[in-house]
Amino acid sequence: MQATVSTVPNRGTLHTVLHEDGRRVAATVPTAPNGSVFVGPLAGLADRLSNLATGVNVGNGQYLPAARAEALRQGVINLGVDGAFRAVAGVGQKERRDIASAKATAMEVPPATPATAAMAARTLVLWDRADIGGKANMLNTLPVDGLGALIASGAYREDGIPAELQQVAADRYMALNHVRRVGLQADHTLVADHNDPLATGPNVEAATNAARAAVKTLNARSETVESVSDALRSIISMVGLATDLSDQKAYQLLSTGSIA
C-alpha cells in the first residue's frame, strides 16, 4: 500500500491511497476562501491526513496487511485525524444550518395586503399566459411583490422552468426582499455632486447592489459547504481503504474515534 500527498494549485491538497490489490481512492481537501469559517479546520485536517499518509507508507514496510490495517486504525486516533474530521464536520453542519436559515428568511413573502394581492393575481395570470421567453423576462424584471407572488405560489419552480431561471428568480427575490426587509435604502443615500447638486433621498441602485453582493456571498458559502461535504465523503472512503474498513465503519471511526 502506498499513500501520496500533493498540492493542487487553487484547489487544495490531494491525498491518495493506492492498495496493493489495485484499489485507489483520492480525496482533495479544498482550500477554503479567505474569511471562511472552514479555513482553520480544513488546514488542520489536511495536516493530519498528511501525517496519516506517512503512517501508511511506514506501516506498509513494517506490517502484514491485517496488522497494518489495525495499526492504521489506531493511527487515525493517535494522529488526531478523527478529531480534525469532527472539527470540519461540526463547522460544516453549523454553516449549513445558518445558510438554510438565512435563505429561508430571505425567501419569506410578507402577508398579502389588498394592493399586493391584486398584483399577485395579475402576475399569476400573466405568468400562465407567457411562453418560456416571456417567463424569463418576468423573472428578470418583476418588482419585489410581483416576484413574491411567483415565489409564494411556487410557480417559478414549475415543470419546464430551467434550473438557471429558478436560480435567477430566487437570487433576485432574496436581494430585493433584503432591501425591503432590513431597510438597506437608509444606508445608501444619494450624494449631491456636480451632476445633481440637489440630490437627495435613497440611492436605490446602491442598496440593490449591496443586497446582490450579500446574496452572492450567501451562495458562495453554500457552494463551499457542498465542496467540503464532497471532500469528507472522499476522505471516509480513503480512510476505509487504508484501514480495511467499510465506508460505514470508517465514518464511525472518524466521527466517534471508535469502531466498537
- Write the pLDDT tens digit of every residue in 117-143: 999 999 999 999 999 999 999 999 999
C-alpha cell read off for 251: 465514518
Sole residue written with cell 405560489? 153
* pLDDT, averaged across the chain: 92
Q: Is 30 helix (H, G, I), strand (E, B) or coil?
A: strand
C-alpha triplet 39, 239, 259: angle, nearest 5°: 110
> Exposed, middle or buried, 166 (CB in 10 Å: 0-12/13-18/19+)?
middle
Region 211-230: mean pLDDT is 95
Q: Which percentage of the chain shows pLDDT scores above 90?
A: 84
| Cβ neighbours around 177 below 10 Å, total | 23
pLDDT in tens, 63-120: 999 999 999 999 999 999 999 999 999 999 999 999 999 999 999 999 999 989 999 9
In this model, does residue 187 exceed pLDDT 70? no
Angle between helices 39-62 and 65-78 (to 10 degrees): 150
Region 223-248: mean pLDDT is 97
187 DSSP 8-state letter: G
Which residue, 45, 16, 32, 50, is CA-closest to 254?
Answer: 45
Burial annotation 200-219 (CB, 10 A radius, 16+ → b, else e) = eebbeebbbebbbebbeebb
Residue 159 falls in which region: left (phi positive, over 0), alpha (psi -120 to 50) or beta: beta
Length of the chain as a residue count: 260
What is the residue-wise DSSP string for 138-165?
Answer: HHHH--HHHHHHHHHHTGGGSTT--HHH
Residue 182's pLDDT is what? Answer: 67
pLDDT band at 194 (very low <50, low <70, confident <90, very high): confident
Tell me the domain boundaries of the chain: 2-97+224-256, 106-222
pLDDT band at 198 (very low <50, low <70, confident <90, very high): low
C-alpha triplet 174, 182, 119: angle, nearest 5°: 55
C-alpha cell read off for 65: 496487511
Task: Identify the bridge partners of residue 204 per DSSP, sorted by sequence position.
Answer: none
Alpha carbon distance 47, 204 (integer Å): 47
Which residue, 222, 250, 256, 245, is CA-closest to 235?
Answer: 250
Handedness of CA 124, 125, 131, 137 (dihedral sign): negative
